[in-house]
Amino acid sequence: MGGLQHYRMSMDPAIQKLGTMTTNRHKYFRWTPRTARITFMYAVFVPAVFAFMAYQTDGKYDMRAKRKGDLVSEY
């Protein structure tokens, strides 16, 4: 059948601009106090908190072979 090709969508300029911006984001990145703070939080602070919690509770809980009424914590 002839006529329009209905499977094609018209390109939205806003979606094209968003795609271009996402693709080229590394070209326009700058270290600012805000980005440095966010990077520090995700790269250093959050893993340090999880590591501290893991070391504090290491060996404290035993989940294997527990029966009804047994305590989960070892000390």
Structure confidence at residue 12 (pLDDT): 84
Quote the tokens at residue 18.
């968003």
pTM surpassing 0.75?
Answer: no
Tokens of residue 71, six digits: 């305590």
Give the pLDDT band (50/70/90) at residue 66: confident
Lowest mean pLDDT among 15-29, 35-49, 51-65: 51-65
Phi then psi for residue 64, to 5 deg, are -90, 145
Q: Please check the confidence at residue 6 and state whether its pLDDT lies above 70.
A: no
* Nearest Cα to Cα of residue 20 among 28, 9, 32: 28
32-59: average pLDDT: 94
Report which of 49, 50, 74, 46 is spatially closest to residue 62, judged by C-alpha positions. Answer: 74
DSSP-derived secondary structure letter, 26: G
